[in-house]
Structure 1
């Protein structure tokens, strides 16, 4: 049992590889919004203690309530800026989850860890569960850190991560989609304000940004592995696609890549070690239509497993205001 006390609900803690998820099943004996209001404090505390909470039982009316509940529990809802994957706005600050083909896996990651500002919480609402698969797995960021070699961690702690991106039409996201504007001046202003170096070649934009690889949670004080080096790295691509892009663009012209913060390449072996650490800590709970999962984005990573049939998972991101 989790140490939090939920009103009118049963709880169960699921564990795997150092990752924990609290599964909460409310009793169907009252107004659903009232239940969330009564349990807002317990939901926040459960995220701080365990990192991830799944509320079962069809308690939301899809996007109409997701943004409101996310704001009540997590704080200010955020726009999806500085995009790295395709997704669509549903309403307000509610978006579809990443729109990758159903047969693809999305690796574990902390949302927007490549940026200098990121969501504190991410809320996922399963409007329609897939026929099979399609889980949104989670992994404890501290458990991932504990699995990494000390020398590797120390090197990343000293240098951070350098993220490089090349925005061009027809290969990954264009800069228009990534920055949600058609105005190069707005892109330049955004990048200057967010410590991103830019280089234009006609309508092709290359960016470079150095970020920390480890951070300390501002509330719990826990030190965690917090970056997307493994996800941006060229070895995250399937081998045939990787070889084709390298031949066409070279390592500096890829849609995205990652290095140590001093520009030194991250080796294939190091990438494999990091990827294995995520896999060992990953826990996946099946979705049912109507489920809501909320994660502390610093303490917990998320991803997506392949699926069959239709799947609709909506996302809202929030930042604490105090």
Structure 2
């Protein structure tokens, strides 16, 4: 059995398994409205769209059952990681029309790609487990804007692949943005080169505060972030030792430090790279949430919600707001807003694609999007030769 991956003018990456009795499902690309899909600019290959939208094509009158879909995914991945390569080109894939109806179905589909489930160390949002490696994407109030960002840019250990499943979708609003952090870097280097040079030289100093109680609706507590081994009977010294042991799993040495405060909170400081590179191509990507910190603070100012993370240049000097605003302006120009249909699955290559969440009208429960996070072969991207830029996979210890 062979797999077709053929270039065309409309869809430079076609993905499918020839239909047969043993594989009754294939995936075929389809077009979305221009508000939901765009052709990426440099440095992406010509005529590359994001997201690449795929839907099942079935043999004769066969029904699209989940087992057949999962087997097709596994077959594609077994042939040189066809879907992984598509992600590396397009940044984001949309699967529509799949027989996914709940968290268990979604978990089964996501695991079919063959990636290693990601453990979040130092989580800043509350994500209760709904199924194996599945949790709510974000439970912040519907009025809250979550602007475009790469996942987990404020901590050293980030996932490489992100899956979102639209279980319930609102009539108005609630879109999930899609934008390229390769294109963001390219534009920033052209338009604000002095800022990019400073980022490359200094990196980012990320200060993240974790408190005993959640700091905002949908946020995490200190125990949720680092308390996986804390027991109810542990005294204060034992609890702190167990939290510090989890922090040590970052493997960052002097580049991750922490300070306990009088109220029992902890402030972590990470020195991190904001510029990384896409594996194999070595094209630079702006792996960051800098525009999100700027836009979120603007939009959510009246809600009393504040970022738990503070972002500075690596030498602890403030990042001028004009640069953050410029990044946001570029992002507004290069992003699309995915209008959800129930059952949609979006898959992001977190190294090169940014996501977020738009506010929506109606009730909080009108939008239910689930997430599943996975590691690839390395923490997203390479980091250059600077000592502070070393980022490693977190190992259980």
TM-score class, shorter-chain normalisation, is 0.7 to 0.9
Change (3 A) 1:16 1:297: same
Residue 261 of structure 2 corresponds to 201
Residue 133 of structure 1 corresponds to 173
Question: 1:57: Cα distance to partner?
Answer: 0.7
Cα distance in structure 1, aligned partners of 2:374 and 2:87: 13
Alignment of 1:161 onto 2:209: no
Q: Residues 80-115 of structure 1: CA distance to partner in whole angstroms, max 9, x if unpaired?
A: 331122332212311101111112211111111222
Residue 38 of structure 2 corresponds to 15
Q: Which has the higher strand share?
A: 1
For the pair shown, the structure with the greater C-alpha radius of gyration is 2
- Out of 77-86 and 210-219, give the one that drifted further: 77-86
Q: Residues 8-67 of structure 1: CA distance to partner in whole angstroms, max 9, x if unpaired?
A: 333136315636211111125343332343243342222111010001013223211322
Alignment of 1:122 onto 2:162: yes
- Out of 214-223 and 153-162, give the one that drifted further: 214-223
8 Å CA contact 2:54–2:96 kept in 1: the answer is yes
> Which SS does the other structure have where 1:306 is aligned?
coil
Question: 1:119: Cα distance to partner?
Answer: 0.9
Change (3 A) 1:47 1:201: same
Alignment of 1:299 onto 2:299: no
Cα distance in structure 1, aligned partners of 2:329 and 2:69: 39
Q: Residues 193-243 of structure 1: CA distance to partner in whole angstroms, max 9, x if unpaired?
A: 32321101230211110110111122443210002233346x74148849x
2:316 pairs, out of 248, 263, 279, with 263
The 5 Å alignment of 1:145-156 reads 145-148=185-188, 149-156=192-199
Cα distance in structure 2, aligned partners of 1:223 and 1:314: 30
8 Å CA contact 1:96–1:313 kept in 2: the answer is yes
Cα distance in structure 1, aligned partners of 2:85 and 2:305: 45
8 Å CA contact 1:161–1:211 kept in 2: the answer is yes
Question: 1:321: Cα distance to partner?
Answer: 4.7
Cα distance in structure 1, aligned partners of 2:296 and 2:145: 11
Cα distance in structure 2, aligned partners of 1:49 and 1:17: 10
Alignment of 1:171 onto 2:227: no
Report the TM-score, using the length of structure 2 for normalisation. 0.72
- Which is bigger in relative contact order (C-alpha 8 A, separation at least 6)? 1
Cα distance in structure 2, aligned partners of 1:318 and 1:27: 27
8 Å CA contact 2:120–2:158 kept in 1: the answer is no
The 5 Å alignment of 1:272-287 reads 272-287=325-340
Change (3 A) 1:33 1:239: closer
Question: 1:118: Cα distance to partner?
Answer: 1.2
Q: How many residue pairs were aligned?
A: 314
> Which SS does the other structure have where 2:343 is aligned?
coil
Cα distance in structure 1, aligned partners of 2:305 and 2:223: 21
Report the TM-score, using the length of structure 1 for normalisation. 0.88
2:122 pairs, out of 82, 87, 97, with 82
- Out of 32-41 and 267-276, give the one that drifted further: 32-41
Change (3 A) 1:134 1:113: same
> Which SS does the other structure have where 1:218 is aligned?
coil
Any gaps of 5 or more consecutive residues in structure 1? 247-253
